[in-house]
Chain A
Amino acid sequence: MPKAAAPDTTPPAPGRATPALRHTAASLRRAAAALRHGPLMASALGRTGLGLAGLALLFAVLGPVVATHQPDTVDLGAKLHAPDGEHWFGTDQFGRDQFARLTAGARRSLLAAFTVLAGSCTVSLVVGVVAGLARGFADAVLMRVVDIVLAIPSLVLALAVVGVLGPGFGNLLLALVISSWAANARIVRAFTLAVRDRPYIAAARLGGAGPARIAVGHVLPAVVPRLLVVATLQLGGTIVSLAGLSFLGLGAQPPTAELGAMLGDARAFVTVAPWLLAAPTTVVLVVTAAATLVGDAVRDATHHSAVEEVHP
């Protein structure tokens, strides 16, 4: 039994102030401890993941500062230049600097993925917590809707939504939220069911707290950290989905620099300018590998506490 999880094994006595705060603090302590001692740093893969994630973030955040060119500036005298001292990652068919475009693209893709996850988590929190707390008819109806949405393969659903709304980056983000909330809603409901009968929540209920107060003050603080773990696992997939649909021309429109759109542009030049393909491919690879490794490690790190919460 990891030490970090110990505090949580003794639930606060009923009636004591701010159990939710205590719980959140415990979660944070646990996460911090996990980061220091847990598998995230302990395992080589976790360290690699963190390293890659740091690299990717650095590239997305600092890249645009370091870049010597603007991502959209056209220089037709420098078309399809191979990587050199002037253009570190070469240039495309408009003579645009690929390094500048790649950092801008990485930033945009990462932000978009976080936006999709935030949207998906928000919707799923509302639906999942309401279903888990309400039980009965509302639960049955909500979960039936979730079942139905889940029965449509999600990328197919995303394609259909883009088909109705029309191609565009905003529409694509919306489509991905629509096609991903349902699975998370089911997870949130399971989390809610696991905590709703905890002694301190039961006590709050007895103490006269309304459903809204219980949901926001007691259930959410317990559920959100776990949902974040799940969301970390989904980050890589979201980036890949975004890139894939943008690659097809359904997302970012020209001349926007975005990883998928850049891959799509590179397709025509695969013979004459392979670097146009290589650079965005590497970025996608690093970002998704980092997300996968970190996601796995975070899951490993939080696993024991999760089990203990279920078996107090």
Chain B
Amino acid sequence: MRSLAFRFRCPELAKESAMASPDRPASAFGGRFRNPLSRLLSRRTTRRPTDRTGDRTNGRATGQAGLAVASVAALAVLATGCGSGGDSAAKPAGAAAEKPLTIYNSYSIAGLDPVGTGTNWLFDWGVAENLMEAGEDGVVRPWLAQSVTQGSPTEWRITLRPGMTFQNGRPVDAEAVNRALTRQIARSKAVRTYLAEGSTVRTTGPLDLVLTTPAPNAAVPAALAARDTSLQIYDTEAVEAAGGYSAKIVNAGAFTGPYAVTAWTPDLLKLARYDKYWAGRPKLPSVTVKVVPDEQARIAGVQSGEAQLAFYPSPDAALTLAGRTDSVLRTSPKALQALLIDMNLTAAPFDDARVRRAFARAIDYRELGEDVAKGSFATATGLYPEGYPYAAATQHTDFAEANRLLDEAGWAKGKDGVRGKDGKRLTVRFVTQAQGPETNALAVVIKSEVAKAGFDLQIVNAEDSARTKADLGAWEASIGLNGSLSGTADPIQPFRARWTTGGSANAQKLSDPRVDALGDRLLTTTDQAAREQLLREGQAILSDREAYVIAATYKQFAVVAGGDWTGYQVSNVRRHLRFDTAP
């Protein structure tokens, strides 16, 4: 009997142990989606006692069972022991809570060398500065420079403030500024969009320089102020010593701002006060900026007191925070950022101006501005937010006209309300940005609005919208922030980059000789009134007559603030951390 029982068992054991490793749920989701076979096989093991007639070995079995339980427990303890060993490493967030100001931010922090793109965050957190700045009112004024004046159509005289130093103590004099500007003009692609090749800098005194452009360039003050030009002033020796590796620029004191970088990884930035900052002693001893990609986690972090400020809340935050006092939604006084919709002009349906105009008329701008998230958006009337002297009202909602234009263009309404032409549906693949939750919220509403005119909007939520749009066969329209305006107050560079033929940010392949001509004249016109007139003409073509591009809405900058910081004043122009910023 015994040997028979054994003959039954052993082959099974061999089979089973050969299988045992992969013996697991077919699609384990928290232990569910079980592989029935594995359960059945396992249970067969237990059935074996049925074959037995005695219980001689049961005492032994029990002993071993006890041992097994002990081993399982030991295993668990082992695992948990491992866990507690790394305890300190597991809570970087907790450790940062001692710092006076902790900010949770959404986007990872690109490199520290201003020659690379993506260093505009250096302004946001008070690390680096330019010769000029865009004020809260959107007007450009001197910053590190005491004055910038035009000597001749191609010459700009710059005088520096006296007594400024880099964070490493070296003086910010004309020679140092000359080196920084020259390095940026030579190597930064971003600078090239403002200053043509051949622009030169020469030192004329201890604090005086002259910037010469090869041709008249009206955009020089804007270029010196722009967030995105990367004309930051920094200690070139300290940066070059790092050989292009950002981590080595940390603690080099290469910049001039109120806060110096003491630690940097793309998802964590630590800043310390620079005591000898030229405008005054910074109010905060240190600042931590941590990248927390999940919006709910950022806001919850403020509510739990881990962080004081959470940046980039979605429009939903206004609804979810209603009535709370431990965390409040703060918005900037002005809505200086425009969320622009651009259309792919290379293919149907938006190669037809009537369809573009219909799309522009079918959007309910009032609803987007007022109803999606009250207090976060403002109704768009043209490409530039009101308040800019050159803003023109070029957009309005008119469903009847939208329908008429589409009828004219030959797109007939189908049974399901979606228009079609030659068997093709009026489908618009609409690219949004996963990074910007507001683009998705707006897209959901826009989809519902344009459906009334017969458009079938399909949202494509892209992690990297620029990469998605590079394939012109993959999209019909897209929505994104015209961020340049907010930190620059300069409309000229974005105008040329986005809308003139071959512009660096012209993803929609816009090519219109009238727009190109306006772009060229803007570059050389220094008279304020004349420039504003050119910009208004541009808007009339761009967003009304041809409807190449429209503004969906204007956006205020929003921050969720908690703790002592509920009175935080949000900057219109993304200057989140100034030397006098304090609770």
Counting CB contacts under 8 A, is B236 at the interface?
A: no
Residues of B within 8 A of A73 (CB): 448
Docked CA distance A230–B38 (Å):
12
Q: Give the B interface residue count (CB, 8 A).
A: 41
Q: Of residues 21 to 63 in A, which have CB atoms within 8 Å of B's CB atoms?
A: none
Q: Is the CB of A154 within 8 A of B33?
A: yes
Q: Give the A interface residue count (CB, 8 A).
A: 48
Residues of A within 8 A of B33 (CB): 154, 180, 234, 236-238, 240-241
In the complex with contacts A93-B319, A240-B33, A255-B459, A183-B25 CB distance below 8 A: yes
| Residue of B26, B314, B449, B459 touching A184 (CB-CB under 8 A) | B26
Counting CB contacts under 8 A, is B62 at the interface?
A: no
Closest to A176 in B: B27
Residues of A within 8 A of B35 (CB): 183, 187
* Stretch in B111-119, B163-171, B347-355, B439-447 touching the partner: B439-447
| Residue of A93, A183, A244, A299 touching B26 (CB-CB under 8 A) | A183
Q: Is the CB of B32 within 8 A of A236?
A: yes
Counting CB contacts under 8 A, is A18 at the interface?
A: no
Counting CB contacts under 8 A, is B28 at the interface?
A: yes
Q: Is the CB of A254 within 8 A of B29?
A: no
| Residue of A150, A176, A244, A255 touching B447 (CB-CB under 8 A) | A255
Counting CB contacts under 8 A, is A300 at the interface?
A: no
Counting CB contacts under 8 A, is A146 at the interface?
A: yes
Counting CB contacts under 8 A, is B4 at the interface?
A: no
Q: Is the CB of B448 within 8 A of A74?
A: yes
Residue-wise interface mask of B (453-470) relative to A, using a CB-CB cutoff of 8 A (1 in contact, 0 not): 000000111010000000
Residues of B within 8 A of A269 (CB): 316, 319-320
Q: Is the CB of B36 within 8 A of A158?
A: no
Counting CB contacts under 8 A, is B372 at the interface?
A: yes
Q: Is the CB of B36 within 8 A of A230?
A: yes
Counting CB contacts under 8 A, is A13 at the interface?
A: no
Q: Is the CB of B27 within 8 A of A146?
A: no
Closest to A116 in B: B27
Q: Of residues 147 to 194 in A, which have CB atoms within 8 Å of B's CB atoms?
A: 147, 149-151, 153-155, 158, 166-167, 176, 179-180, 182-184, 186-187, 190
Q: Is the CB of B448 within 8 A of A237?
A: no
Residues of A within 8 A of B316 (CB): 93, 268-269
Docked CA distance A120–B27 (Å):
11
Closest to B460 in A: A253
Residues of B within 8 A of A184 (CB): 26
| Residue of B38, B320, B371, B448 touching A271 (CB-CB under 8 A) | B320
- Nearest chain B CB to A141's CB is how many angstroms away? 15
Q: Is the CB of B29 within 8 A of A244?
A: yes
Closest to A232 in B: B36
Counting CB contacts under 8 A, is B10 at the interface?
A: no
Residues of B within 8 A of A182 (CB): 22, 26
Docked CA distance A93–B314 (Å):
12
Q: Which of B34, B295, B314, B367 has the most CB of A within 10 A?
A: B34
Docked CA distance A72–B459 (Å):
12
Closest to B449 in A: A74
Q: Is the CB of A237 within 8 A of B319?
A: no
Closest to A190 in B: B37
- Nearest chain A CB to B192's CB is how many angstroms away? 32
Q: Is the CB of A233 within 8 A of B34?
A: yes
Q: Of residues 237 to 272 in A, which have CB atoms within 8 Å of B's CB atoms?
A: 237-238, 240-241, 244, 253-255, 267-269, 271-272
| Residue of A120, A149, A155, A271 touching B29 (CB-CB under 8 A) | A155
- Nearest chain A CB to B106's CB is how many angstroms away? 14
* Stretch in A4-12, A76-84, A199-207, A278-286 touching the partner: A76-84
Residues of B within 8 A of A147 (CB): 19, 21-22
Q: Is the CB of A76 within 8 A of B37?
A: no
- Nearest chain B CB to A294's CB is how many angstroms away? 14
Closest to B372 in A: A76
| Residue of B25, B37, B444 touching A94 (CB-CB under 8 A) | B444
Counting CB contacts under 8 A, is B79 at the interface?
A: no
Residues of A within 8 A of B448 (CB): 72-74, 94
Q: Is the CB of A153 within 8 A of B24?
A: yes
Docked CA distance A179–B25 (Å):
10
Counting CB contacts under 8 A, is B322 at the interface?
A: yes
In the complex with contacts A74-B445, A76-B372, A154-B22 CB distance below 8 A: no
Residues of A within 8 A of B64 (CB): none
Closest to B33 in A: A237
Q: Is the CB of A80 within 8 A of B319?
A: yes
Residues of A within 8 A of B27 (CB): 154-155, 158, 176, 179-180, 183, 234, 237-238, 241
Docked CA distance A271–B299 (Å):
13
Q: Is the CB of A76 within 8 A of B459?
A: no
Docked CA distance A176–B29 (Å):
11
| Residue of A154, A253, A268 touching B25 (CB-CB under 8 A) | A154
- Nearest chain A CB to B20's CB is how many angstroms away? 11
Q: Is the CB of B22 within 8 A of A79?
A: no
Residues of B within 8 A of A150 (CB): 21-24
- Nearest chain B CB to A7's CB is how many angstroms away? 25
Docked CA distance A76–B374 (Å):
11
In the complex with contacts A237-B34, A253-B461, A154-B443 CB distance below 8 A: no
Residues of A within 8 A of B19 (CB): 147, 186
- Nearest chain A CB to B93's CB is how many angstroms away? 20
Counting CB contacts under 8 A, is B296 at the interface?
A: yes
Q: Is the CB of A154 within 8 A of B26?
A: yes
- Nearest chain B CB to A262's CB is how many angstroms away? 13
Docked CA distance A184–B33 (Å):
12
- Nearest chain B CB to A100's CB is how many angstroms away? 13
Docked CA distance A299–B440 (Å):
45
Closest to A154 in B: B27
- Nearest chain A CB to B392's CB is how many angstroms away? 27
Residues of B within 8 A of A167 (CB): 463
Residues of A within 8 A of B463 (CB): 166-167
Closest to A306 in B: B40
Docked CA distance A94–B440 (Å):
12
Residues of B within 8 A of A72 (CB): 444, 447-448, 451
7 shortest interchain CB distances as A-B pairs: A237-B33, A150-B22, A183-B26, A76-B371, A74-B448, A241-B29, A154-B27
Known: A74-B445, A234-B36, A254-B459. 19 other contacts (CB 8 A): A73-B448, A74-B444, A74-B447, A74-B448, A74-B449, A76-B371, A77-B371, A147-B22, A150-B21, A150-B24, A176-B27, A183-B24, A186-B22, A230-B36, A237-B26, A254-B440, A254-B444, A255-B444, A255-B447
8 pairs, A vs B, C-beta closer than 8 Å: A72-B448, A94-B445, A154-B28, A176-B27, A180-B33, A186-B37, A190-B37, A244-B30
Q: What residues make up the interface of A, taking CB atoms closer than 8 Å to B?
A: 72-74, 76-77, 79-80, 93-94, 120, 146-147, 149-151, 153-155, 158, 166-167, 176, 179-180, 182-184, 186-187, 190, 230, 233-234, 236-238, 240-241, 244, 253-255, 267-269, 271-272, 299
